[in-house]
Amino acid sequence: MWRDAALVAGKDLRIEARSRVATNQVAPFALLVLVLFAFALDPNRAVLKQAAAGLYWVAVLFCSLLAVQRSSAVESAEGARDQLRLSGLDPAGVFLGKAAAVAAQLLVLELLLGAGVVILYDVRLASLWLVTATCLLATVGLAAAGTLYGSLAAGLKVRETLLPLLLLPVAAPVLLSATEAWQAAIAGHPGDGTQWLRILGVFAVIYVAFGVVMYGSLLEEA
Amino acid sequence: MTRPPVPRWVTRSLGLGAVGFSAAAVVFGLWVMGPTAEQGDYSRLLVVHPPVATYAYVGFGITALASILYLIPRTRRREWDLLAGASAEVGVVFCGLTLVTGSIWGRPVWGVWWTWDARLTAEALLFALFLGYLALRRVPASEEVRSRRCAIAALIAVLDIPVDHYATTWWQTLHQGSSIDLLQPDKHLDTAHNVGLLLGFIGLGLAFAWLVIQRYRVEKLEARYEQEGLDLALEARRAEGDIPSDRVGAPV
Amino acid sequence: MASGDAVRLRAAVALLGSFPALAGASLDVDRGEVVLLQGANGAGKTTLLRVCAGLTGVVSGDVVVLGRDLVRDRRAVRRHVGLLHQGGGLYDDLTVSDNVRFAVRAAHGDPDGVEPALARLGLDGRLARSPVARLSTGQRRRTALAMLVARSPALWLLDEPHAGLDAEGRDLLDGLIAEAIQVGATVVIASHELERVTSLAHRTVVVAGGVVLDGRPAEAREPVAGAAEELEASEPVAGAAEAAETSEPLAPPGPDAGAVGPAEPPGPVAGAAGPAEAPAGAPGATDQREAAHVA
């Protein structure tokens, strides 16, 4: 299973390297979202700074939608899904591989967005360990749930509109917890953040486990 | 006339019971129960709001259970998928009612139409999860594909609900301190209120069951209709090749 | 008796949505055979191949491929089967050699087989490093074939493999099929390229209306008196398919009429020979009984 996961992750990342969708399209989009928030809120009254954690994670959520869409679009070329099933790869491995590739791309985007928030919103990120831990756990959870839904919506004509409707409600607790954790970090009270890390951890564990068990079933009946 | 999937006497008694108990609950709520000190007349919504909230969760719970049974190969039957769909449809209505009654209740008591109370927020998320599931059910796809995907979607969503709860509860205590709880469970409710609450639960519970069964019946009949359509389609398909049916699949 | 040890289908019913693409198909294929599936568009050939690959499930009937029961577990056979289908199934953003390499490694195959496979298909050199999106249809088809060759499965399922290939590519494909047989693989081809494939195939089978006509291998049939005359040189498939549709149902002139004559491998094969023999059932004695019963 791990070998298959590594193979699939490598394949997805190689596709990303060749097509550069994340770097050319999603990253600029992410930064654009940050800028738009600034237009929507009043930058002079420090509202941006106060809301920075939440805005950051909303932007991350949007990016995860795009990353997941892309991940499932790669497999939707005609016959690609069939070939994936025929390939003899362990479906759990395929799930882990795809989720890992999405997670890797998200982490890079989060780094970029983090820099954006620090620069554009004048935010100081103290307690880097909390910040990093939050990003890691949240990303794993989002990637797992996203990959599941990406496959669920694959092959359906209304995929693009259905995926956000499916994924965002499920991702809501991640948004909530990650924002709280970041706020604790920014405010300099990292101790308050640990309970949120617990929620993020539980979410990640649940969805990774679910994916490993159920992805095979999802791949069938293309 | 073929026998209905669920015997008629069941639904009839459920229906009558639902009407009876609901009527009793209304009577209690409007006349027998007196106003409370804290909330005045608005506490009468006690008869409606907690039950619909509970049954929204029950609805999703049934959907999830039926989905699990559908996915396990040994217990896989089309009926579980139909039940999951029926329960979700009724559940989403109850969920919507929860949000509406919560809002109606909250407006005079809190002064706002909506507040990010933990319970209400969790219910709103539940509503969104329901909507996503129902949208997936409507997508055109072959029956087996759709049933399987919906079942998995239901499980993904149901796993989210406890996480939602913890997250929203901690979130609320962080930001609002202890909120004004609509139900005020720690306050002592007098007998009339308790009875009213009980009547509400029973009446709405029976109504919920009745609705789910009726919806399930419709789905079952549709499935039966489709199955017969399949047999006709098989005949027509073979006729394309002009094969008489006794020739097909002749044994070695 | 028919061994059917590569593929055995009995009364398989497969649905696409609610449409019965296969309406009770039965087929036997022996190891090392090359079988041609003929039939009009929409007859069910692609679905038949997919069922054999374990991609599409059956709602009733039996399917045993390479000794594995696909009704119980569809995934069991997939690593040993290669399906070439019209879609292609390639990753557009990856290069030719990336695609082939991925397929081989996914199947736990030998990575050293990638280069020779590419070379065999004429895809080495500059082409190997081109992203698939830039290739022509014929080149994509060759890439898919290279994946097949590199994986070297025991059962080849080819759906319209010649479509999109130039003359050189078609000869190449024929050569590949011949080589595959030599290493003991079994090949089932669905094609409209009758002249070319019938010379390769051990026998031909007609698919119509979701059902297979004459699904039994040649050795199983006892030669039937009078069948020899009916073994005229093959009429074109389109004619036979139409004839099957328009003919009066079953007017067998005698007890032997139900059998379509067996083909001599690997020479020219008679397709569904003519209107009178349109629906063919099981060979031999059973058939005689049935024919008599119907008549």
Given this model, what pLDDT does residue B187 score?
A: 54
Using the Cβ of C2 and the Cβ atoms of chain B, whether some distance falls under 8 Å is answered with yes
Instruction: For residue C272, give the nearest of C219, C222, C198 by alpha carbon.
Output: C198
Break chain A into its structural domains and give their ranges: 2-221
Q: Which chains touch B (3 or more CB pairs under 8 A)?
A: A, C
| C275: Cβ contacts below 8 Å, ≥ 6 apart | C243, C244, C246, C247, C248
Cα separation, A125 vs A114, whole angstroms: 9
Given this model, what pLDDT does residue C4 score?
A: 60
- Could you give the count of Cα atoms lying within 13 Å of B177 in the half-sphere of its Cβ? 1
Q: Quick one: average pLDDT of B179-196?
A: 60
- Whether pLDDT at C282 is above 50: no
Mean pLDDT score of chain C, rounded to an integer? 70
Task: pLDDT band for C233, please (50, 70, 90 cuts).
Answer: very low
Q: What is the percent of chain B where pLDDT is above 70?
A: 81
- Whether pLDDT at C275 is above 70: no
Cα separation, A62 vs A70, whole angstroms: 13
Nearest CA in chain A to B161: A170
Mean pLDDT score of chain B, rounded to an integer? 78
Task: pLDDT band for A45, please (50, 70, 90 cuts).
Answer: low
Task: pLDDT band for B19, please (50, 70, 90 cuts).
Answer: confident
* Three-state SS at B126: helix
Using the Cβ of A222 and the Cβ atoms of chain B, whether some distance falls under 8 Å is answered with yes
Residue that wins the pLDDT comparison between B215 and C107: B215
Task: pLDDT band for C2, please (50, 70, 90 cuts).
Answer: very low
Given this model, what pLDDT does residue B53 score?
A: 86
Residue that wins the pLDDT comparison between A66 and B168: A66
Across the interface, of B144, B242, B251, the residue whose CB is closest to C282 is B251
Given this model, what pLDDT does residue C101 score?
A: 87
Q: Quick one: average pLDDT of C140-164?
A: 85
Q: CA of C35, closest CA in chain B: separation in Å? A: 18
Task: pLDDT band for B63, please (50, 70, 90 cuts).
Answer: very high
Using the Cβ of C54 and the Cβ atoms of chain B, whether some distance falls under 8 Å is answered with no
Range 14-53 of C in CB contact (< 8 A) with B:
15-20, 23-26, 28, 43
Do A77 and C79 lie within an 8 Å CB cutoff?
Answer: no
Q: Which residues of B touch A202 (CB under 8 A)?
A: 163
DSSP β-bridge partners for residue C131: C95
Task: pLDDT band for A60, please (50, 70, 90 cuts).
Answer: very high
Q: How far apart are the first and last CA of chain A?
A: 21
Given this model, what pLDDT does residue C270 score?
A: 38
Cα separation, B247 vs C10, whole angstroms: 13
Given this model, what pLDDT does residue A120 score?
A: 81
Given this model, what pLDDT does residue C67 score?
A: 82
Helix (H) or strand (E) run with residue C85 in it: none
Do A11 and C102 lie within an 8 Å CB cutoff?
Answer: yes
Given this model, what pLDDT does residue C284 score?
A: 38
Using the Cβ of C211 and the Cβ atoms of chain B, whether some distance falls under 8 Å is answered with yes
Tally of residues, chain B: 252
Q: Quick one: average pLDDT of A189-218?
A: 87
Across the interface, of B143, B237, B244, the residue whose CB is closest to C279 is B244
Cα separation, A146 vs A164, whole angstroms: 10
Cα separation, A160 vs A151, whole angstroms: 12
Given this model, what pLDDT does residue C256 score?
A: 38
Q: Do C279 and C216 meet the contact criterion of CB atoms below 8 Å apart? A: no
Across the interface, of A152, A156, A172, the residue whose CB is closest to B164 is A172
- Whether pLDDT at B175 is above 80: no
Across the interface, of A18, A87, A216, the residue whose CB is closest to C131 is A18
Using the Cβ of A83 and the Cβ atoms of chain C, whether some distance falls under 8 Å is answered with yes
- Whether pLDDT at B2 is above 70: no
Across the interface, of A80, A86, A89, the residue whose CB is closest to C53 is A86
Cα separation, B17 vs B146, whole angstroms: 35
Q: Which chains touch A (3 or more CB pairs under 8 A)?
A: B, C
Given this model, what pLDDT does residue A140 score?
A: 94
Given this model, what pLDDT does residue C262 score?
A: 41
Q: Which residues of A touch C106 (CB under 8 A)?
A: 4, 7, 87-89
Residue range A95-126, pLDDT digits in tens: 999 999 999 999 999 999 988 888 888 777 77
Q: Quick one: average pLDDT of A59-67?
A: 92
CA dihedral for B30, B35, B41, B46, sign (positive or negative): negative
Max mean pLDDT range (B20-34, B163-177, B195-209):
B195-209
Question: CA angle, B67 as apex, A176 and B75 as ends, to 5°?
Answer: 150
Do A180 and B171 lie within an 8 Å CB cutoff?
Answer: yes
Q: DSSP assignment of C228-269, as one string?
A: HHH-PSPPPHHHHHHHHHHSPS---SSTTTTPPPPPPTTS--
Residue range C68-82, pLDDT digits in tens: 888 888 787 888 888
Q: Which residues of A touch C89 (CB under 8 A)?
A: 77-80, 82-83
Residue that wins the pLDDT comparison between C228 and A219: A219
Task: pLDDT band for B145, please (50, 70, 90 cuts).
Answer: confident
Given this model, what pLDDT does residue A105 score?
A: 92
Residue range C130-141, pLDDT digits in tens: 888 888 888 888
Using the Cβ of A11 and the Cβ atoms of chain C, whether some distance falls under 8 Å is answered with yes
Given this model, what pLDDT does residue B3 score?
A: 60
- Whether pLDDT at C266 is above 70: no
**Tokens encoding A215:** 């992805």
Task: pLDDT band for C31, please (50, 70, 90 cuts).
Answer: confident
Residue that wins the pLDDT comparison between C253 and A113: A113
Task: pLDDT band for B37, please (50, 70, 90 cuts).
Answer: low
Instruction: For residue B50, give the nearest of B203, B165, B159 by alpha carbon.
Output: B203
Q: Quick one: average pLDDT of A195-221?
A: 88
Using the Cβ of B250 and the Cβ atoms of chain C, whether some distance falls under 8 Å is answered with yes
Using the Cβ of C84 and the Cβ atoms of chain B, whether some distance falls under 8 Å is answered with no
Residue range C58-117, pLDDT digits in tens: 888 888 888 888 888 878 788 888 888 776 778 888 888 888 888 888 888 777 878 888
- Whether pLDDT at C279 is above 60: no
**Tokens encoding A58:** 């909303």
- Whether pLDDT at A145 is above 90: yes
- Whether pLDDT at A46 is above 70: yes
Given this model, what pLDDT does residue B34 score?
A: 66
Cα separation, B182 vs B52, whole angstroms: 14
Q: What is the percent of chain C where pLDDT is above 90?
A: 0
Given this model, what pLDDT does residue B251 score?
A: 39
Do C94 and A89 lie within an 8 Å CB cutoff?
Answer: no
